Amino acid sequence: MTPNASDRRDTWLFFLLAFWVLAVGFGLRDPWPADEPRFVLVAKQMVESGDFLFPHRGGELYPDKPPFYFWLLSLAYGFIGSWRWSFLLPSLLAGLGTLALVRDLASRLWTPRAGLWAATAVLVCFQFVYQAKRAQIDPTLVFLTTLSLYGILRHLLLGPSWRWLWFGGFAAGLGVISKGVGFLPLLALLPFALMARRGWEGLAPLGQGNGWRWALLAPAVLAPIALWLVPVFTVAILSGNPEHEAYLRNILLKQTAERYVDPWHHHEPFWYFGQVVLLFWLPFSLAYPWLLAPWRTAWRQRDARVWLPLAWSLLVLLFFSASGGKRDMYILPALPALALAAAPYLDAISRRTGFRRLVLAFVLLFSTLLLAAGAAALVAEPGFARKLVAERGLGEEGRWLWWMLASVGAAGLLAAAWGRVRGALVACALLLGLLWSGYGLVVHPLLDDENSARGLMQEARERVGEGVAIGLVDWKEQQLLQAVGPVVEFGFRQPVPVQATRAKAWLLEAPGERWLLVQRSELLACIDFEAAGAAERLGTANRRDWWLLRAGALAGCP
């Protein structure tokens, strides 16, 4: 259906709002844990060394993730010239791209209005926006899996269009070299085969005798993988470097099949992702009860336009649930497909009085919690506020956080009281928009020094003086990323006592000219943190206590 002037206006308005929600706070912070400092550090070392095949973290190879996302970070830096202003750019563009793909495909399958509702369903989800405002691989992965699924569904539902199928395969290959699970869109071929065999409605007339065209899907998927692996294998074989061999073994086996079958962290029960799609996908998840009946009707009518993306999202849910290792963001690639399956029904659901009442209850409850938390922190300093202030070193500046929460909560309550049931959706949109604006404009600059360790490393440089080398022991990626002046590290994966032993030897080479930066922990029990003239407390960052040490503080270390 061709969009009319009203549809085009609504589309422009939607993407202006989406850009604000995803971009607000851009440039107001540096990389924060978890993952962001690590990924930006890897990309920074790629740019500085010119080695884009073998990622490094400090002096060690980093084999945990394929390199595509690091290439994107490097490319963003090349365009902008500032890590602070570029490291969130891939996630921002990926988020906007995901919304555009969902809107376009739903518009082609149904109507332009259904397309806008599908994109809105994705945008309002807490998890989607939160991840799109972070420099992690997952937003890029979601975009690539959605792009791959877009191409595959353009062929299976709106085709035949073999070029779109091959392009979908190529996007899946890019997903694989971003994160191993990028192949997931190809699972859509399984329910498609069953639906085609049983004569479901809505499938494209693909005809017979196209075996060679289907066979070209495999090289389309493998092409981007080969563009990465062939040079890596070539360099590894020619160099004879055992570290290169260990890198390949780790990233091709340990970080893929072994991590899925026998994960070594993030263990959760089988039903874990059920709570994610209910709580983290709020407020879109409020529509679930009203979607069951039309989905059941679509099943009876054998409507592949609804059930092919829905079946794929269920396969993704099953795939991740079957592994013992689970993190909430793993399931995010299924969200756009679920929104596609809901697209033709969301407009009608939005008019239901029961649904609007549920949305109003959500706005009232969430706004009340925000207002109560902010007001309590301003007036009574409850335990959670004291803990946050102590851990993040907020001091008096913490009041801006509490004022933001209280203000957003109060605005949400006023909007709910003004709109009531009829205006519940508008009140919800206002509440979410204000919340993400406060997150970007208040939380980003307020917590940046503590979370990024930028202030800590600047203070360390001022303490020791210009040109003095600082050694890092038991360090985090943000310390090396934010370092000012000369620094030395003694391995990241090395056991902390080994790092301390190497650091002591390094200090003794020039005991009056070098310092160590360490975090106080049980792993460094041999260090005398009370040594006069040899130990200075620097401050806190990332909820850890950091110290500057001279050689005398390590006298008890072997």
3-state secondary structure of 5: helix
pLDDT for position 525 = 80
**DSSP letter, residue 468:** -
Pick from 386, 427, 341, 451: which is nearest to 118 by CA? Answer: 341
Residues of the chain with pLDDT under 70: 1-2, 255, 257, 259, 262, 264-265, 390-393, 395
Structure token digits, residue 140? 């890029």
Pick from 110, 10, 94: which is nearest to 339 by CA? Answer: 110
The HSE-up count of residue 511 (CA atoms within 13 Å, CB side) is: 10
Task: State how far the Cα of 94 lies from the Cα of 178, in Å rounded to an integer.
Answer: 13
Contact of 74 with 52, CB cutoff 8 Å: yes
Pick from 556, 555, 530, 535: which is nearest to 547 by CA? Answer: 535
User: CB-based contacts of 127: which residues, under 8 Å, 6+ apart?
Assistant: 276, 280, 281, 328, 329, 332, 335
Contact of 335 with 128, CB cutoff 8 Å: yes
Structure token digits, residue 153? 């569904």
Alpha carbon dihedral 76, 77, 79, 85, in 10-degree steps, equals 90
Alpha carbon dihedral 405, 407, 408, 410, in 10-degree steps, equals 120
φ/ψ of 496, rounded to 5, equals -60, -45
**DSSP letter, residue 325:** B
Structure token digits, residue 96? 């906007």
Q: Which residues pair with 539 in a beta bridge?
A: 546
Q: Which amino acid is at 272?
A: Y
Q: Which residues pair with 57 in a beta bridge?
A: 60
DSSP string spanning 23-52?
HTTTTS----TTTHHHHHHHHHHHHHH---
Contact of 548 with 515, CB cutoff 8 Å: yes
3-state secondary structure of 281: coil
> Which residue blocks in 351-423 are alpha helix, DSSP H?
353-379, 383-392, 398-419
Task: State how far the Cα of 369 lies from the Cα of 373, in Å rounded to an integer.
Answer: 6
Helix, strand, coil percentages in the chain from 3-state DSSP, rounded to 5: 70, 5, 25
| Helices 89-109 and 112-123: angle between axes, nearest 10 degrees | 150
Task: State how far the Cα of 428 lies from the Cα of 419, in Å rounded to an integer.
Answer: 10
Residue-wise pLDDT tens digits, 289-336? 999 999 999 999 999 999 999 999 999 999 999 988 888 999 999 999
Spell out the SS3 assignment of 233-249: HHHHHHHCCHHHHHHHH
Structure token digits, residue 289? 């009860």
User: CB-based contacts of 138: which residues, under 8 Å, 6+ apart?
Assistant: 131, 179, 329, 332
Environment class of 28 (CB within 10 Å of its CB; exposed 0-12, middle 13-18, buried 19+): middle
pLDDT for position 390 = 67
Task: State how far the Cα of 367 lies from the Cα of 409, in Å rounded to an integer.
Answer: 4
pLDDT for position 240 = 78
Residue-wise pLDDT tens digits, 98-129? 999 999 999 999 999 999 999 999 999 999 99
Which residue, chain included where needed, has tokens 């919800």?
428
Q: Which amino acid is at 523?
A: L
pLDDT for position 3 = 74
User: CB-based contacts of 208: which residues, under 8 Å, 6+ apart?
Assistant: none
DSSP string spanning 187-246?
GGHHHHHHHHHTT-BT-----S--HHHHHTHHHHHHHHHHHHHHHHHHHHHHH--HHHHH
Task: State how far the Cα of 426 lies from the Cα of 76, in Å rounded to an integer.
Answer: 35
Contact of 496 with 473, CB cutoff 8 Å: yes
Contact of 133 with 25, CB cutoff 8 Å: yes
- In 424-543 the beta strands, taken as DSSP E runs, fall at 470-473, 487-489, 515-519, 535-541
300: left (phi over 0), alpha (psi -120 to 50) or beta: alpha
Question: H or E segment at 549?
Answer: strand 544-549
